[in-house]
C-alpha cells in the first residue's frame, strides 16, 4: 500500500525582491512594495509531502522523527530568522517564495532519502502559496 504524508512546519525570514539586472524603476514596477530597500518579513508555513509504501512493522510511510530532524536541521535552521538575500543560495537569484520553495525541495530531494519526496508547498501569506514538485524534464 502506498500512502502520502504531509508534515507542516513554520519559520520566519525576511527578504527584498530586487534584481540587479533591472533598473531601479523596473524593480519598483515589478516588485512594488516588496522592493523596499530595508526588506520585509514573512511567517512562512512549509508543507513537505512524501510518499511510499506503508511499512508493515511501523504502519508508517516514514519515521516522523527522521523527517522532523532533517527539516529542522537542513531547512528551518538554514532559513529561519535570516535575511534570504544574504544567503549563498540567493547570491544569483531573487529570493522570491517561488525560488525559496524550489531551493527547499532540492535540499530535501538530495538529503532526505527515507521516503519519496512528492512536493513542497510554501505559504507566504494568507493570499499566496507556492508549490514545487520538481522539474518535469529531470523526473523523466
CATH of the domain at 128: 3.30.479.10
Residue 123 has pLDDT above 60, yes or no: yes
Alpha-carbon dihedral sign for residues 5, 51, 140, 138: positive
Among residues 26, 40, 77, 81, which one is catalytic? Answer: 81
**Active-site residue 101, yes or no?**
no
Q: What is the pTM of this model?
A: 0.93
Measured CA to CA, the distance from residue 33 to residue 68 in angstroms comes to 34
Give the pLDDT band of residue 136 (cuts 50, 70, 90): low
81 catalytic, yes or no?
A: yes
Count up the domains in the chain and report the number: 1
Query: Which strands form 40-53's sheet, in the order they lie side by side?
Result: 2-15, 40-53, 116-123, 129-132
pLDDT digits (tens, 9 = 90+) for 58-115: 999 999 999 999 999 999 999 999 999 999 999 999 999 999 999 999 999 999 999 9
In the predicted structure, residue 13 carries a pLDDT above the cut 80: yes
- The C-alpha atoms of residue 8 and residue 114 are separated, in whole angstroms, by 17
124 is annotated as an active-site residue = yes
Task: Kindly state the cell numbers that stand for 72.
Answer: 529542522
Query: Which residues span the domain enclosing 56?
Result: 2-139
19 has a pLDDT exceeding 60: yes
Catalytic residue from among 34, 82, 116, 118: 34
Q: What is the pLDDT of residue 75?
A: 98
Amino acid at each position: 500500500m502506498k500512502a502520502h504524508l504531509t508534515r507542516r512546519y513554520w519559520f520566519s525570514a525576511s527578504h527584498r525582491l530586487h534584481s540587479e539586472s533591472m533598473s531601479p524603476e523596473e524593480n519598483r514596477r515589478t516588485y512594488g512594495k516588496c522592493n523596499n530597500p530595508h526588506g520585509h518579513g514573512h511567517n512562512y508555513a512549509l508543507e513537505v509531502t512524501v510518499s511510499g509504501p506503508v511499512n508493515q512493522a511501523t504502519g508508517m510511510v516514514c519515521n516522523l522523527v527522521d523527517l522532523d530532524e532533517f527539516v529542522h536541521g537542513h531547512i528551518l535552521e538554514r532559513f529561519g530568522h535570516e535575511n534570504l538575500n544574504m544567503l549563498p543560495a540567493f547570491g544569483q537569484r531573487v529570493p522570491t517564495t517561488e525560488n525559496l520553495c524550489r531551493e527547499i525541495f532540492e535540499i530535501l530531494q538530495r538529503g532526505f532519502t527515507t521516503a519519496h519526496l512528492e512536493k513542497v508547498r510554501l505559504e507566504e501569506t494568507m493570499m499566496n502559496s507556492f508549490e514545487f514538485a520538481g522539474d518535469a524534464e529531470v523526473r523523466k
